[in-house]
């Protein structure tokens, strides 16, 4: 079967004469309905890869296709959700969620029905008249999720959407996202630093390395759903992912810090669930 999303030999270079390789010859196939987590240290090109699929960036060489057609720019089939909700502060939750439908010229009655459906899906219907500043971080990300879903894209691209939330709120939103995914069967590409989050959510965990940014491992996750945050299998898998990524992260630190740096105690401290590579 043809993949829904395909990257073929994708390279993205920045800097003078393309001296810095954010991504080097990346090949990746994503099937319709898959939940793929991209996990790797800071700077390994996760956001770049997501932006290429979104059509917000163009590859330096290679090709990104969706349903076999080259991606030439953003499109309604693909929506992106970021770490910051990017809601309009002057609009109510309801109007924020309605906004993309207005832009797309969807008739009023259908807009109202769709906004109601998706606000109910994220449990914000009662809060629809509030403005973003009146909401908690978790509620803002719920609203952003409704806004990403309301156009009924087949592909949802999520760039660390829960990274700024506290651990408890994040656990709740993992369960919500998993439920919504089971209900809607979107294709999800979810970027995260957090190994536990990747193990909790993904059907696949695509691990990335850096200098140059590339895929180092593609791990199929066969755990049953719905999963639980404290599921032993999730914890075990998070440990496996973490061990693999630790090597890459140490490489980044070694290149960024003085020559004399050595990992204390034989390696980075490694409680599974830590955010890896942030703030290095
Ligand atoms: N607009 C840009 N101009 C120049 N260099 C860029 C640009 N965007 C990204 N880069 C570089 O490309 C590399 C990959 O960046 P990217 O943001 O994709 O990494 P990331 O894996 O998302 O990192 P993080 O986990 O910190 O979000 C980095 O070296 C970054 O400095
Ligand atoms: Mg990023």
The set of residues, in sequence order, having a beta carbon less than 8 Å from that of 233 and lying 6+ positions away, is 223, 227
**Pairing state between β 69-70 and 20-30:** unpaired
Ligand 1 atom closest to residue 15's alpha carbon, by position in its atom list: 4
Please give the C-alpha separations between residue 150 and each of 26, 31, 121, in angstroms, as whole numbers: 31, 22, 10
Q: Find the 42 Cα to ligand 2 centroid distance in Å.
A: 7
- pLDDT computed for residue 19 by the predictor: 77
Q: Whose CA is nearest to atom 18 of ligand 1?
A: 45
Q: Find the 118 Cα to ligand 1 centroid distance in Å.
A: 32
- pLDDT computed for residue 271 by the predictor: 43
**How many helices (DSSP H) and strands (DSSP E) are in the chain?**
7, 10
According to DSSP H, which parts of 84-166 are helical? 93-103, 108-121, 137-150
Domains of the chain, residue spans: 78-152
CB burial of 81-107 (b: ≥16 within 10 Å; e: otherwise) equals bbbebebeeeebbbbbbbbbbeeeebe
Q: Find the 47 Cα to ligand 1 centroid distance in Å.
A: 7
The set of residues, in sequence order, having a beta carbon less than 8 Å from that of 164 and lying 6+ positions away, is 83, 84, 137
Query: In angstroms, rounded to a whole number, what is the distance separating the alpha carbons of residues 170 and 178?
Result: 12
Entry pTM? 0.90
Asked whether the beta carbons of 30 and 5 are under 8 A apart, the reply is yes
Q: Find the 162 Cα to ligand 2 centroid distance in Å.
A: 13
Q: Which SS3 state, helix, strand or coil, does residue 10 take?
A: strand
Q: Whose CA is nearest to atom 12 of ligand 1?
A: 22
What DSSP element (H or E) covers 154?
A: none
**Pairing state between β 61-66 and 69-70:** antiparallel
Ligand 1 atom closest to residue 41's alpha carbon, by position in its atom list: 25
Residues flanking ligand 1, CB < 6 Å: 14, 22, 42-48, 193, 213
Number of the ligand closest to the Cα of 44: 1
Note the residue count of the chain: 280
Q: What is the pLDDT along the chain (280 residues), one digit of tens a residue?
A: 789 999 999 999 998 877 789 999 999 999 999 999 999 988 899 999 999 999 999 999 999 999 999 999 999 999 999 988 789 999 999 999 999 999 999 999 999 999 999 999 999 999 999 999 999 999 999 999 999 999 999 999 999 999 999 999 999 999 999 999 999 999 999 999 899 999 999 999 999 998 889 999 999 999 999 999 889 999 999 999 999 888 877 877 777 777 767 776 655 544 444 555 443 3
Q: Whose CA is nearest to atom 13 of ligand 1?
A: 22
Q: Whose CA is nearest to atom 5 of ligand 1?
A: 14
Query: In angstroms, rounded to a whole number, what is the distance separating the alpha carbons of residues 50 and 259?
Result: 33
Number of the ligand closest to the Cα of 43: 1
Q: Find the 51 Cα to ligand 1 centroid distance in Å.
A: 11
Number of the ligand closest to the Cα of 49: 1
Torsion of CA 122, 229, 84, 221, to 10 degrees: -100
Query: In angstroms, rounded to a whole number, what is the distance separating the alpha carbons of residues 87 and 204?
Result: 30
Strand order in the sheet with 20-30: 20-30, 5-14, 61-66, 69-70
Asked whether the beta carbons of 193 and 276 are under 8 A apart, the reply is yes
Q: Find the 43 Cα to ligand 1 centroid distance in Å.
A: 5
- pLDDT computed for residue 264 by the predictor: 67
């Amino acid at each position: 079967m043809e993949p829904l999303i395909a990257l073929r030999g994708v390279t993205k270079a920045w800097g003078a004469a393309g001296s810095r390789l954010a991504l080097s010859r990346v090949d990746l196939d994503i099937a319709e309905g898959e939940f793929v987590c991209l996990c790797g240290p800071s700077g390994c090109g996760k956001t770049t890869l997501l932006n290429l699929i979104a059509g917000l960036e163009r590859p330096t060489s290679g090709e990104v296709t969706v349903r076999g057609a080259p991606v030439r720019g953003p499109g309604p089939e693909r929506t992106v959700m970021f770490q910051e909700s990017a809601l309009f502060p002057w609009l109510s939750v309801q109007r924020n969620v309605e906004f993309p439908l207005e832009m797309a010229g969807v008739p009023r009655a259908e807009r109202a029905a769709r906004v109601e459906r998706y606000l109910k899906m994220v449990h914000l219907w009662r809060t629809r008249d509030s403005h973003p500043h009146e909401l908690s971080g978790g509620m803002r990300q719920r609203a952003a999720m409704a806004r990403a879903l309301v156009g009924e894209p087949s592909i949802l691209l999520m760039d660390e959407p829960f990274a700024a939330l506290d651990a408890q709120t994040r656990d709740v939103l993992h369960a919500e996202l998993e439920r919504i995914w089971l209900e809607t069967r979107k294709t999800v590409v979810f970027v995260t630093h957090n190994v536990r989050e990747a193990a909790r959510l993904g059907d696949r965990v695509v691990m990335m390395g850096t200098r140059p940014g590339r895929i180092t491992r593609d791990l199929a996750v066969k755990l049953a759903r719905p999963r639980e945050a404290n599921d032993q299998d999730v914890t075990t898998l998070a440990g496996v992912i973490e061990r693999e990524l630790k090597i890459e992260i140490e490489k980044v630190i070694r290149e960024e810090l003085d020559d004399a740096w050595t990992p204390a105690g034989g390696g980075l401290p490694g409680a599974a669930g830590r955010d890896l590579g942030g703030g290095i």
